[in-house]
Structure 1
């Protein structure tokens, strides 16, 4: 019998499952709070919570992580030096600290514009040495002919011991800018993903687990830790992809909408006939458009830890401007934090009346996440906040009294961004505690938070909590409809069309008396809801949208299940252009006949994907060839335009009798 250990590090929780590979059954499951300041702490606690694991029975460890995505969003990572090869730089800002252009490059047919200027290249290398941590090399149309990129890498590696990334190895698509961005982001992530994987391996070693480690890619498939070391950019959107895989596996449905509600976001995917849509244009992360293949998943900033705030003094029913806002900022629930810091309940009780707080609310509380490594480098106002929080968490008004001076919102923000301190406030998790729908944490803190915000909103505490629950339900219903609209190429947002509420109002507020007509909608397939809070919210969403809601067993750890049941997938894409010119990852080739060009791609591509699959440890890989021919009709007959071949080898790294 062999087990797979699946681990998912989300924004709020780190989940773990032990899966019996033979019958695909969950043997054990556990959760622990994610520790963003050091993800390995949450992973180690999660493994401890799983109970005793027999190391010899674990054949694989699969990890899905938000680290790559978060690092790009937060601008973290290594300093990148970019060497461009060609006549020009791609238009647009590039995520690199140093950038130089070296003459060379190719045209659309793979023919060199000019020889690679090796003398200029060596000057650029000398200028960048010691200034950057990693190098990205991107040549004009290197996807048509990678020769100059490969030459440049050889020269760099002879003169400088530095990690090097070539753009053609990450993308075979046209798009000089996007291909370059992908290479730069990959170079930036190299030291971050290396640090994570080495730390994870150290945690596993403590538990005597020496099984191979695989990482979930943005398309839901797995890559080896060695590939993740080299191509970390492919792990962006790893967590949302794992949620789609996990939801479809747990439900067994062939056509379904998957809805994963976590602490920070709600991620929605649509699966049809066991296949989910891929983002053909490439993932966009923090405004950077890449050529990374990911599942087409829409993400909305509402989750169990979303920040609930009240704007203004009161809400007048029927007003065009809502005063209650939920998300997208993530904070820590009052009910959770007050379990460790019970003094917060008394500090919240002391708040009577309304108090103005600049860039926040009087319900907000702050806590220390980690002590700064160099306290002397902090500004005086930041040092004062750190000292005031050394003995525990405090409400913002209590914190102001402890400092005995002006409480700088800029200092709070900079310390929060550095993950030195964190904010606790009223969240959907607290709403559930107020209404008695959840009893896991400290309800007293949630009730005090509701009381304080209700004063600003202009109603009683219970009515305020009920109003929050109603708005959360409607927001989730709207996210479902927006996902379907986006799938079909439409934008369904109030910002895009102010008249949007004319139709959406009767859908999302069917009981409101002043509607002149009613609208009934229903999905043609069920919604598979996963994530810790979905049992409290999704049944009402199903009623609102007249749609079937399925919450499968183990839904609260579905992402970890998705990591565990994923397949390794190795692929190669090559293109044949007129003149039977082959543009492939292994180089540029020409043939006399179309059939010879096609056979060469099939032979070399199959050898490459099978070898890559073998190195990843895949047992008995399945090879699939996807073949597209593009032609046009003219007065002189059919004219060949191009032919694209994709060879994919996929499978599990365990066998049934492993």
Structure 2
């Protein structure tokens, strides 16, 4: 396609967030031509996607067949990890032992999901240890019988993936379920962290599968035949089929898209980008116009993965964050997040006459109840996602419906409350309660949803008691203004945590440091303390104008709120490039013997330079192939060497080498 034709092509960008689905019509030559929003419908994502896309096509007066490319970003995978949700996964560890679960947070991430250890794996040079599959069948028939996917990790599979491939083929043949192998996700050493990454990938497969299938169904129904792309965690675009097999790579997809969108909308090369959504606030740096990547791998939900992604800090802080009180204090502090609740104002909008009467009933009670203002309802997932529930969990799950039910009528004691939390953790149930979005409605600063429910919820929350037995606020408006101010303050602290870490301060120097707190409070003594940042903050998100209005003053810098900041992720979804990485390693077997490992290929050489040259050739070819599979229309490949060597008695001794090839290009678009 001619370059001028590409610049005039109409591109459809979609961002599916925890609360809203955004859509834009974007043209490289003319920018944002139209934008629209619709509520994200978790039980059937097609509805939210369809609502946003239909609205943006109508607003832009664009025919469906005029769209040349569809690209989407999503916070669904990130939110699932932050909130501890996802499918039940069977983990197969080949050549590992139970003690390996204690490393890199693997045991905590596994939770109650089943795991089996079988003999096998390889050594650092790719030489085989005997594989023994006899223990796999009994485990599949018992512990592995009630899972939604499998994750397989073998010892040194990055040097020789043969045993992972064998086990994966067996699992697919026996169960027909999705199976993820660790060597498909990362070429880096570190078995437990690779297993963790693989486990999380398998846990997310059902979620991303539903998103992609929903989008494809909708596009086909509307007659949009353009290629479908998904934003990866490093801001690059990949084809939908590529993302389906590697959903873990879409963690931080939404945040990465927001960085690309921030640069596209502002033209600012060096900035701190803070994107506030319903569930999370995502903060990262733009340096030289590019997102900075995290060399250690993406950190999400407390887990350090092996996914190459933007150096992003994700905080459980957003417009739909749970508002609660710090327990046991005379003057309890307001806590926000990390869990997302469905706002009361939204629930009443979606279910008219269901939530508000229950809130009014609770307000008419003389004494406040500990479950006031809280509701529960089903998430609308298919029945198979309820596999493996205990008898007590099944009993409570069957009592839930798609209509919110007041918790003070639904559950009676702490045990049932714990059971409900387990259902929430599995993604089967959702909790509705008072959030900053409700506070904005109650304070008259937002009118998107039902303000009567928001005011009632705020009034109920204001009746909570402090350590002296007194109500924490005079009325709902007062507590709402305090919640909104608290969200701005916590946003400033989150940004400072990010910048202090970037400046190399250790974990003791955070925004909770007494000196920094005094500066944020504006408290002055003999010593005057002030804070300022060396670059502007770019605020993104539909509620950024509300929550970030006083942010620049707190941080001593300009806060830029660009036009179309409410759909920056959707803009970033179509403004990126396709990128693919491949790695090959060269290890020293002995004097004059070098082994190259590249994907499933191994080859030995007698010459170091010949081995490295072959590794570069294989990595280059793999990167170009993956870029094509990911949807690139032609690509340019750059190769880098990282050689480790030492000197002994004046003689250079080769240790190992890693070759990294990165291929990138613009996505294929329909003519």
User: Does the aligned pair in 1 maintain the 2:644–2:657 contact within 8 Å?
Assistant: yes
Corresponding residue number in structure 2 for 1:101: 118
CA contact (8 A) 1:83 1:135 kept: no
Contact 1:609/1:647, CA 8 A, preserved across alignment? yes
Change over 3 Å in CA distance of 1:58–1:639 after alignment to 2: same
Cα distance, 1:492–1:357 mapped onto 2, change above 3 Å: farther
> Does 2:29 align with 1:23?
yes
- Aligned twin of 1:205: 220
Q: How does 1:199-238 map to 2 (within 5 A)?
A: 199-238=214-253
Q: C-alpha separation between the residues in 1 aligned to 2:133 and 2:198?
A: 18
Matches of 2:348 and 2:136, distance apart in 1: 55
- The 3 A distance-change label for structure 1 pair 607 and 524 is same
Partner of 2:480: 465
Distance, in Å, in 1 between the alignment partners of 2:97 and 2:413 is 55
Instruction: Report the alpha carbon displacement of residue 352 of structure 1 after superposing the two structures with TM.
Output: 5.2
- The alignment partner of 1:128 has SS state of helix
Question: What is the TM-score with the length of structure 2 in the denominator?
Answer: 0.83
Q: Which among 40, 56, 64 is matched to residue 73 of structure 2?
A: 64
User: What residue is the counterpart of 1:318 in the other structure?
Assistant: none
1:360-419 Cα distance to aligned partner (Å, 9 max, x none): 4x3445567659979998889848965xx88x656666x57xx9x889645765665576
Aligned match of 1:523: 533
For residues 434-469 of structure 1, give each alpha carbon's deviation from its aligned partner in whole angstroms, at most 9, with x where no partner exists. Answer: 443323333344334333433421435444333333
Match of 2:561 in 1: 551
Determine if the alignment matches structure 1 residue 600 to structure 2 residue 646.
Answer: no
Q: Distance in 1 between matches of 2:298 and 2:347?
A: 35
Of 573, 583, 592, 1:563 maps to: 573
* CA contact 1:625–1:645 (8 Å) conserved in 2: yes
Deviations 1:468-508 (A, max 9, x none): 332222111111111112334445679x89xx552123222
Q: Which residue of 1 aligns with 2:14?
A: 7
CA shift for structure 1 position 124: 3.4
- Contact map agreement 1:450 1:461 (CA 8 A) in 2: yes
How much has 1:647 moved relative to structure 2? 0.8
Distance across 1 between alignment mates of 2:552 and 2:279: 21
Question: Which one of the candidate residues 445, 457, 462 is aligned to 1:437?
Answer: 445
CA distance in 2, matches of 1:436, 1:156: 56
Gaps of 5+ in 1: 316-320
Per-residue deviation, 1:232? 2.1
Q: Residue deviations 1:235-261, cap 9 Å, x none? A: 222222222222222222221111000
Q: 1:47 aligns with which of 53, 70, 84?
A: 53
Tell me: CA distance 1:264–1:158, structure 2 relative to 1, closer, same or farther (3 Å). Answer: closer
- Call closer, same or farther: CA 1:312–1:71 in 2, change over 3 Å: closer
CA shift in 2, pair 1:164/1:125, >3 Å: farther
Q: Report 1:177-216 matches (<5 A).
A: 177-216=192-231
Match of 1:338 among 348, 353, 356: 348
Aligned-pair CA distance for 1:565 = 1.6
Q: Please, which runs of 5 or more residues in structure 2 have no aligned partner? A: 1-7, 464-470
The DSSP-based 3-state class of the residue aligned with 1:107 is coil
Aligned length: 632
Contact 2:442 2:480 in 1 (8 A): yes
Q: Is the 8 A contact 2:375 2:432 kept in 1?
A: yes
Residues 368 and 182 of structure 1: CA distance in aligned 2, closer, same or farther (over 3 Å): closer
The structure 2 residue matched to 1:427, chosen from 423, 432, 435, is 435
Tell me, what secondary structure is at the counterpart of 1:583?
strand
CA distance 1:299–1:156, shift in 2 (3 Å): closer
1:508 to 514, 517, 520: 520
Measured in 2, the distance between the counterparts of 1:46 and 1:159 equals: 40
Change (3 A) 1:35 1:154: closer
Contact 2:274 2:540 in 1 (8 A): yes
Deviates more, 1:178-187 or 1:261-270: 178-187
Give how far 1:560 is off. Answer: 1.4
CA contact (8 A) 2:639 2:659 kept: yes
Change (3 A) 1:188 1:420: closer
Partner SS for 1:82 = strand
C-alpha distance in 1, partners of 2:503/2:199?
Answer: 32
CA separation in 2, counterparts of 1:383 and 1:477?
Answer: 39
Alpha-carbon contact 2:283-2:495 (below 8 Å) kept: yes
Other structure's SS at 2:500 match: helix
Counterparts in 2 of 1:616 and 1:302: CA distance versus 1, 3 Å: closer
| 1:302 and 1:328 in contact (8 A); partners too | yes
CA offset at residue 175 of structure 1? 0.6
Instruction: Spell out the pairing of 1:137-536 with structure 2 (5 A cutoff).
Output: 137-150=152-165, 163-286=178-301, 288-310=303-325, 322-340=332-350, 341=352, 344-345=355-356, 348=359, 351=363, 355-358=367-370, 360=371, 362-365=372-375, 370=380, 382=396, 386=400, 399=409, 409=417, 413=421, 422-455=430-463, 456-490=471-505, 500-510=512-522, 512=523, 517-536=527-546
